[in-house]
């Protein structure tokens, strides 16, 4: 029937496929394109198997957040292209634009009454999951949500991956098998059953097709959307425009992308963001075009799933830019080796994955911490001595999430990271009044302590154990009191 991998197909209700229905309905919501779409391929496969016409419903609500002339025009450009391409084909294309908020309610349910099966896009973003969840129990036939979001299926992971390193390592293990299953470039190329003459009259009267003037650049003043946000001059939506933007990026900008992508003055970005957002271009399409340009094949993948940020794809630096001299370290981190550090430099024996594993209570770790739940402060001076190692970017990490609060006490607020604990530790008696600092609460989490140190009041460079209050954070001007012990090097207080 179809070659769409079953891992990408999710049944949304208990309905059954009805072979005696009048047509197969594809409800286009997220992947607004006529190619490189597993969902459209699935719907076309059902139509061929059941011998029923294919109907494509592409609807546009007006009650979504940030609805404006800019967003509407971009989507309508794509709808106009679809209407032109499918005119006279075996596919009945039905573009619907809501004239008022909520006016489209019941349209999908009405169309499903005479459908064999309904296929929709499975996209975990915006209001789309709620839209499917609301429609599923109302449909008397089977509703399938098909994942066309990325190279890796949404349901490929069997567990939660809590760190970027864990996700990269998992992806490098399982992605190669999914690279063998790409959506068809043109799922409508093969013959389809004859076109449906039209939709039932009661549906066409209640939910009329979009005004052709709206599709072809006409005024949108009659729609209840924000008219103060106009369309962007020279920017056209649609999958055909997306293909041109992708080709321009590969032909003109890709060679400079690796070095220039972080320079706001160097216009080397792809320009594909709005097309990806509205589903006018597919990740599979972009990857296939890039791989063709690189003369790439899966045989060039690194066979070891190390979790490295660069080098695994076997592409040029411009096509797969990395993150610095080492997969886990920024470019300015290479320097002298700290006395207690593991070998994360080139040829070292350390496991780079440990740099992103969560810390457990009482587990200070001499490694560079890179974790999205943590806040880092820069550190330039070298720690310890050595010829080949790493320079620490931070000597401490600060947790900002409320789960760290237990029993009214602040736990794990700060922990040592990146330096030899012995080099930083000193007894509490070595912490005099000059080391006690005022604090202020973080605006994001009032229960997190954040040092507030004016540069003029910064202590001299020496290491000490500093005790932070385990009570709720004191107001500005109060000193830290006895409480939880943390490691902090006072030489870097001015940088916090």
- Using an 8 Å Cβ cutoff, are 41 and 4 in contact? yes
Residue 259: count of CB within 10 angstroms of its CB: 13
At residue 477, the pLDDT reads: 39
At residue 1, the pLDDT reads: 58
- Using an 8 Å Cβ cutoff, are 470 and 410 in contact? yes
> pLDDT for 337-393, tens place per residue?
222 222 222 233 333 333 333 333 333 333 333 333 333 333 333 333 333 333 333
Q: What angle do CA 258, 261, 266 make, to 5 degrees?
A: 115
CA distances from 330 to 24, 173, 324 (A): 52, 25, 5
- Using an 8 Å Cβ cutoff, are 53 and 24 in contact? yes
Q: Does the structure show a pLDDT above 50 at 34? A: yes
In 3D space, the residue among 381, 387, 448, 374 whose CA is nearest the CA of residue 419 turns out to be 381
DSSP track, 56-125: EEEEE-SSSTT-BHHHHHHHHHHHHHHHHHHTTSSEEEEEEE-SSTTTTTTHHHHHHTTEEEEEEE---S
Paired sense of beta strands 9-11 and 143-146, if any: antiparallel
Q: Does the structure show a pLDDT above 70 at 415? A: no
At residue 260, the pLDDT reads: 87
| Cα gap 54→193, rounded to integer Å | 8
Least confident of 214-218, 255-259, 270-274: 255-259
Domains annotated on the chain, with CATH = 6-148+183-215 (3.40.50.620), 331-495 (no CATH)
Least confident of 34-43, 168-177, 283-292, 380-389: 380-389
Paired sense of beta strands 91-97 and 54-60, if any: parallel
395-418 average pLDDT score: 39
178-197 average pLDDT score: 96
464 has which bridge partners?
488
419-435 average pLDDT score: 36
At residue 265, the pLDDT reads: 87
| Cα gap 363→468, rounded to integer Å | 18
At residue 75, the pLDDT reads: 97
DSSP track, 381-392: S--S--SSEE--
326 has which bridge partners?
329
Between the ranges 125-129, 159-163, 287-291, 395-399, where is the mean pLDDT highest? 287-291
In 3D space, the residue among 446, 445, 439, 443 whose CA is nearest the CA of residue 496 turns out to be 439
Between the ranges 66-80, 335-349, 469-483, where is the mean pLDDT highest? 66-80
Q: Does the structure show a pLDDT above 80 at 211? A: yes
- Average pLDDT over the chain, rounded to whole? 74
> pLDDT for 117-164, tens place per residue?
999 999 999 999 999 999 999 999 999 999 999 999 999 998 999 999
DSSP track, 215-271: HTT---TTSSSBTTSPPPTT---SHHHHHHHHHHIIIIIHHHHHHHTT-TTS-----
- Using an 8 Å Cβ cutoff, are 390 and 373 in contact? no
| Cα gap 106→144, rounded to integer Å | 18
12-37 average pLDDT score: 97
What's the pTM value of the predicted model, to 2 decimals?
A: 0.67
- Using an 8 Å Cβ cutoff, are 98 and 214 in contact? no
454-473 average pLDDT score: 39
User: Percentage of the chain surpassing pLDDT 90?
Assistant: 59
75-90 average pLDDT score: 97
Q: What angle do CA 287, 289, 291 make, to 5 degrees?
A: 65
């Amino acid at each position: 029937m179809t070659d769409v991998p079953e891992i990408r197909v999710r049944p949304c209700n208990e309905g059954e496929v009805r072979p005696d229905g009048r047509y197969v309905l594809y409800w286009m919501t997220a992947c607004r394109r006529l190619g490189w779409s597993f969902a459209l391929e699935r719907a076309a496969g059902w139509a061929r198997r059941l011998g029923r016409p294919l109907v494509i419903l592409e609807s546009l609500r007006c009650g979504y957040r940030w609805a404006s002339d800019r967003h509407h025009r971009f989507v309508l450009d794509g709808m106009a292209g679809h209407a032109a391409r499918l005119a006279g084909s075996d596919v009945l294309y039905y573009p619907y634009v809501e004239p008022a908020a909520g006016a489209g309610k019941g349209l999908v349910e009405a169309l499903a009454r005479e459908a064999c099966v309904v296929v929709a896009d499975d996209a975990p973003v915006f209001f789309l999951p709620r839209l499917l969840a609301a429609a599923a129990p109302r449909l008397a036939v089977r509703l399938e949500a098909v994942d066309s979001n990325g190279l890796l299926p949404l349901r490929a992971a069997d567990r939660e991956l809590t760190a970027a390193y864990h996700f990269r390592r998992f992806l490098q293990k399982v992605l190669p098998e999914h690279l063998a299953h790409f959506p068809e470039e043109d799922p409508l190329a093969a013959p389809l059953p004859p076109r449906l003459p039209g939709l039932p009259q009661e549906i066409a009267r209640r939910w009329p097709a979009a005004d052709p003037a709206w599709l072809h650049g006409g005024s949108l003043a009659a729609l209840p959307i924000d008219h103060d946000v106009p369309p962007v001059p020279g920017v056209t939506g649609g999958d055909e425009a997306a293909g041109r933007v992708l080709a321009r990026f590969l032909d003109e900008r890709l060679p400079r992308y690796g070095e220039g992508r972080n320079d706001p003055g160097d216009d080397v970005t792809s320009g594909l963001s709005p097309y990806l957002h509205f589903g006018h271009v597919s990740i599979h399409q972009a990857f296939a075009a890039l791989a063709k340009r690189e003369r790439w094949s899966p045989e060039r993948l690194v066979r070891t799933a190390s979790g490295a940020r660069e080098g695994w794809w076997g592409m040029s630096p411009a096509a797969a830019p990395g993150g610095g001299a080492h997969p886990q370290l920024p470019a300015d981190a290479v320097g002298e080796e700290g006395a207690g550090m593991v070998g994360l430099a080139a040829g070292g024996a350390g496991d780079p994955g440990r740099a992103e594993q969560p810390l457990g209570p009482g587990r200070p770790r001499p490694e560079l911490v890179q974790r999205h739940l943590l806040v880092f402060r820069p550190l330039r001076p070298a720690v310890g001595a050595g010829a080949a190692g790493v320079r620490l970017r931070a000597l401490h990490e600060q947790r900002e999430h409320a789960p760290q609060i237990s029993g009214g006490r602040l736990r794990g607020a700060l922990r040592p990271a990146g330096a030899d604990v012995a080099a930083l530790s000193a007894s509490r008696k070595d912490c005099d009044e000059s080391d006690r600092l005022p604090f202020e609460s973080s605006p994001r989490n009032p229960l997190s302590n954040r040092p507030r140190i004016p540069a003029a009041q910064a202590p001299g460079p020496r290491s000490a154990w500093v005790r932070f209050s385990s009570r709720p954070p004191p107001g500005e001007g109060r000193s830290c009191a006895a409480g939880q012990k943390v490691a902090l090097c006072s030489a870097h207080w001015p940088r916090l």
